[in-house]
Amino acid sequence: MNLFKQTRYLIISVAVLTGAAFMGGVYAGHANYSPIDSLFSLSGKQALASTTSADFAPFWKVWDVINEKYVTPNKVTDQEKVWGAISGLAKSLGDPYTVFMPPEEAKSFETEISGNFEGVGMEVGIRDEMLTVIAPLKGNPAEKAGIKAGDKIIKIDDTVASDLSVDKAVLLIRGPKGTAVTLTLIREGKSGSFEVKVMRDVITIPTIDKELRKDGIYVIQLYNFSAVSPNLFNKAISDFVKTKSNKLILDLRGNPGGYLDASVDMASWFVPKGKVIVREDFGGKQEENIYRSDGRYTFGNTFKMIVLVDEGSASASEILAGALQEHGIAKLVGTKTFGKGSVQELVKITPDTNLKITIAKWLTPNGKSISEGGLTPDYEVKMSEDDIKADKDLQMDKAVELLK
């Protein structure tokens, strides 16, 4: 996907070997830029003093003490210490999606977003300060191995995951087809931790399934918000109209998101023209962006709609579901969504390092921050491991009950 497309992308996390797209980065500097030279120059220190009231004396004292007393002073280069300091600066913000990438990580990340499609096929993020599976992609190795949305990853092979950024975890999980990775997981409702061995493969990204049930209810299951998903969704809606059914279930369970434009396009089928679909809040640094329906508003009040959501519904899924819920167009059934409602920009710091930084938050039409707890369904329906093993879909059953 093009890094510099005008289309905006909601960065949920780095897709584990499924490819991802990001807002265009900003390049500053030139090929000979050396941050270590700038840091230690007199002008560099003076610049720090003049731009902040923070006391940098402790930093320089620690630097000198390390160089003077550390038992193996040459184990880490001065430049690597600088990268570590910058990483710590980014981490101090307490935002798991703001991450500094030193050269090796930056190179791997850029390879990832340019289209590396071998791996396990799942999205991961940080939830409750733990590395968490947002959603395994249907038909791919992670799903086939039994990994589920909401699973907490505590080890990747022999590496403890508690101190890993999302991007670093991705580097460990991904790999070429035919190789294996062992994930140690904990799952709500299951005692203790357990291991899952996943054989990496070429990743296929599903988009949409549709079905007219025997009871006259039309079901659209959407797996992601890719560049092609609006056209496929439009065709599904056209098929729905042809059936003359007035009952629709939109299944967004396990959908980790994707393009913002895709979610706005789909919402416009249902939300009246000019009504707010989502707000982009920059925290007062600039005026918020408001995305409104383009007025396709095809159905009005002539039909009933249910949206299925769960902890694997994130980002663009939450934008679409939140708009439909707050405008009174659909009821949400399932469990609370993931709560990934922030926007990241990829910024070039030096020619071989990047900073992925959160620049805005997504708000629902009524101003609720999606990042703060996700969306709460109108009807909460949980499913146990036994329900899943017995092939019972209590959430779908509740949706059908409400529509009837």
Please name the amino acid found at residue 285. Answer: K
In angstroms, the CA 368 to CA 220 distance is 26
Catalytic, 326? Answer yes
Which residue of the set 168, 340, 361, 368 is catalytic? 340
Catalytic, 315? Answer yes
In angstroms, the CA 341 to CA 339 distance is 6
Task: Give the closest residue to 309 by CA, choosing from 227, 374, 367.
Answer: 374
Q: Is 93 helix (H, G, I), strand (E, B) or coil?
A: coil
Contact by Cβ (8 Å): 133, 67: no
In angstroms, the CA 164 to CA 339 distance is 20
For 264, which DSSP code?
A: H
Q: Is 64 helix (H, G, I), strand (E, B) or coil?
A: helix
Within a 13 Å sphere around the CA of 252, how many CA atoms are in the beta-carbon half?
39
The answer for residues whose C-beta is within 8 angstroms of residue 183's C-beta and 6 or more apart is 147, 153, 155, 156, 173, 195, 196, 197, 198
In angstroms, the CA 249 to CA 399 distance is 7
Which residue of the set 165, 326, 331, 361 is catalytic? 326
Q: Determine how β-strand 379-380 pairs with β-strand 331-334.
A: parallel
End-to-end alpha carbon distance in the chain: 42
- The total of other beta-carbon atoms located within 10 Å of residue 400's CB is 18
Contact by Cβ (8 Å): 260, 291: yes
Its sign, for the CA torsion 26, 31, 36, 37, is negative
Q: Determine how β-strand 276-281 pairs with β-strand 247-251.
A: unpaired
Catalytic, 235? Answer no
Which residue of the set 87, 315, 317, 342 is catalytic? 315
Q: Is 309 helix (H, G, I), strand (E, B) or coil?
A: strand
Q: Determine how β-strand 353-363 pairs with β-strand 99-101.
A: antiparallel
Length in residues, the chain: 404
Round the CA-based radius of gyration of the chain to a whole number and report it: 23
Q: Which residues are catalytic?
A: 315, 326, 340
